[in-house]
Amino acid sequence: MFKIEKDNFISVKYNEVKDKTKLEEFSFENEKIKLDSIDIKNCKFDGIVFDKVDIKFCNIEDTTFINCDLSNLSFLDTAMYRVNFINCKLVGTNIIDCDLNNIIISDCMCNLINIAGSKLKNIELINSNFKESTLMSCNIKNILIDNINFSYSEITNTPLKDIDFSSSNIEGISTDLTSIKGMVIDLHQSMDLIGLLGVKIKE
């Protein structure tokens, strides 16, 4: 995976930025921001609350979000490259038809997140809550999943071959055979998926 090494940002308030069509090499801290469709590169957001907006057709590169609240935002046709989400809230966030490459989501609240029609490559999901989330019609390549709560989530039309879910909670998930074929689980988790095979367990 990757690490963002840059730390020589220019610390500003969002209302001080003159050109709001592109943010580059800025650091924002402890404020409320409403973004328009915008390109973001080499930035750091710490303790930021983002107003609910639809972010369309933009790039986010080499950027870290720490202790931020991105709940209920909609990212539409957005490209994210080398982006970290650390201890953030993405509750009810929509990620639709996006391209995600080299992304880390760690220690985040992602309940009810909706990821659909997106490409996910080189992704790390670590110690985060994805309860009741939706993952639909996505293309996934090279993803690490470590201690994720996927309980009561919906995963459909998203091949998970060779992806290891054994350290995560998949209780009550709704999925299909296309998605789970070849996924890696432990013996206990097989009880959550066996009903999809059309068999019943006699007690």
Neighbour tally for 19: CB within 10 Å: 8
Which region holds residue 153: left if phi is over 0, alpha if psi is between -120 and 50, else beta? beta
pLDDT digits (tens, 9 = 90+) for 164-181: 999 999 999 999 989 999
State the burial class of residue 106 (Cβ atoms within 10 Å of its Cβ: 0-12, 13-18, 19+): middle
Q: What pLDDT is attached to residue 6?
A: 58
Which residue bears the tokens 């470590």?
A: 146
148-167 pLDDT per residue, tens: 999 999 999 999 999 999 99
Query: Is 179 strand, coil or helix?
Result: helix
Q: Is 91 helix (H, G, I), strand (E, B) or coil?
A: coil
- Asked whether 135 and 152 are in contact (CB, 8 A), the reply is no
The domain limits of the chain are: 10-145
pLDDT digits (tens, 9 = 90+) for 8-25: 789 999 999 988 889 999
Q: Which helix (H) or strand (E) holds 142?
A: strand 139-149
Interacting residues of 15 by C-beta distance below 8 A, sequence separation 6+: none
CATH dotted code for 10-145 = 2.160.20
SS3 of residue 195 by DSSP: helix
